[in-house]
Amino acid sequence: MFKRMFVILMVLALVAPAFAQTTIRLAGWPGNPTEESAMKEMVDNFNAKNSDIKVVWEPSPGDHMQAMKTRLAGGTAADLFYLDVFLFEEFAKTGALLPLDAYLKDFPLNDYSLPLREAFTYNARLYGLAKDFSTLSVIYNKELFRKAGVREPKAGWTWNDFRTTALALKAKAINPTILEADFNRWIPFVNAFGGRVVDERLSIALSEKKAMAGLSFAANLVLKDKVAMRASDVGSGWEGEAFGQEKVAMIMSGPWSVSFVRDNYPNVYKNIGVVEMPKSEKPATMIYTVAWVVNKQTKDRAAALKVLKYLVSEGQEIFVKKAGVLGSSAAIAAKDTDPLKVPFYKGAAYGSAWRVRTPSGLFSRANDEIGSRLQDVYAGKITIDQAVKQISDNYESWVE
């Protein structure tokens, strides 16, 4: 009897691993209902096709990135998680992320544009794959343009064309556009006018002639021409809402605003037009993106990498279709037939990722301080020249 029981136990011990299931935890910030529905479909689809791995989505309550810092330090972080490009370098420097290069030999990395690859590269190592991305374009209301008798913007237009258009709308008592006092929304002006945010030594370069030309142009739209305002100035919570409520004729925004208007203001959505951002010396836009990264402490790298490859391929296709974002993979982008997304996709070729490199890898405080100066410019407390001087004088202490 004992011998028979021993044999049974041995057989079970050998068979059990074949039925063992690895759990891979995913973490990120909770999205809107449309995004959460897409995430559920992605997870359910993977779990239905894979019996050896179970994927669990664990959205972070509150500040996701702070939660990841705390959990990584405590050894309790998810196997894969969202990492915003804005904070990428700060995380990469800690050594908490798994370098992916050696594991992606058979993965079509060239399907990702160079800016999207560089966005998550640190010290020549790739640490993340963009789960999707967005760029800025000008979204405009065709009906408001028609009523004002103002010609609609066309591809290839310049910032001077933008200003002329905005002044024509203002002359017909139509609020032209939104420009928030967020630094990332002023960077396209810097870049379009041939400037740069930092120089080769990673010192702030906003006081350089071309950068100042772009910043001054933006400030004049706000203070001199009075054609650009904040969403709060027209009684709205944010630019997409202001556009949906027809309180402005144009917004410089991403595809998230298009899907927001589609879902909440269908009558306005019927009249949407989208055109690439204006150019000056060169075209410029922002690239906002979030990567899936792998926690270096994951207990099963093979399973985590299998899930990663799914999330940025079949999973990404689901998310792009349902959530209205842009496919970071060229293969997936090629299947996206929404004509309103075309200008956003074009921006990927020349856009700048929302990531400012610093010697320390830290930029959050500097971003807050720069934004505070831009708010003061809006309020007429300081000029753009004074703001840039304050930024230049204090920048090194902000990025320590």
Give the domains, in start order, of the chain with CATH numbers: 2-133+287-353 (3.40.190.10), 135-285+357-398 (3.40.190.10)
- pLDDT for res 5: 56
Q: Check residue 283 and report its DSSP letter.
A: -
Contact by Cβ (8 Å): 368, 357: no
Q: What are phi and psi of 343, to 5 degrees?
A: -60, -35
Non-local (6+) Cβ contacts of 391 within 8 A are 204, 206, 369, 370, 373
Coarse DSSP helix, strand, coil percentages of the chain, rounded to the nearest 5 percent: 50, 15, 35
Tell me the Ramachandran region of residue 95: left when phi exceeds 0, alpha when psi lies from -120 to 50, beta otherwise.
Answer: left
- pLDDT for res 175: 98
Tell me the Ramachandran region of residue 277: left when phi exceeds 0, alpha when psi lies from -120 to 50, beta otherwise.
Answer: beta
Residues of the chain with pLDDT under 50: 12, 16, 18
What distance in Å separates the CA atoms of residue 357 and residue 372, rounded to the nearest whole number?
20
What distance in Å separates the CA atoms of residue 50 and residue 46, rounded to the nearest whole number?
6
* Helix ranges restricted to H, the chain: 2-19, 33-49, 64-74, 88-92, 114-119, 142-148, 159-171, 183-192, 209-223, 239-244, 255-264, 266-269, 301-311, 314-323, 330-333, 342-346, 364-378, 384-398
User: What separation in angstroms does the CA of 172 have from each of 61, 162, 249, 292?
Assistant: 45, 16, 11, 47
State pLDDT tens for residues 36-82: 898 999 999 999 999 999 999 999 988 999 999 999 999 999 999 99
Neighbours of 207 (CB within 10 A): 15
Contact by Cβ (8 Å): 128, 305: no
User: What separation in angstroms does the CA of 3 have from each of 7, 11, 15, 16, 303?
Assistant: 6, 13, 19, 20, 37
What distance in Å separates the CA atoms of residue 278 and residue 283, rounded to the nearest whole number?
7
What distance in Å separates the CA atoms of residue 359 and residue 363, rounded to the nearest whole number?
10
- pLDDT for res 8: 53
Q: What is the pTM of this model?
A: 0.86
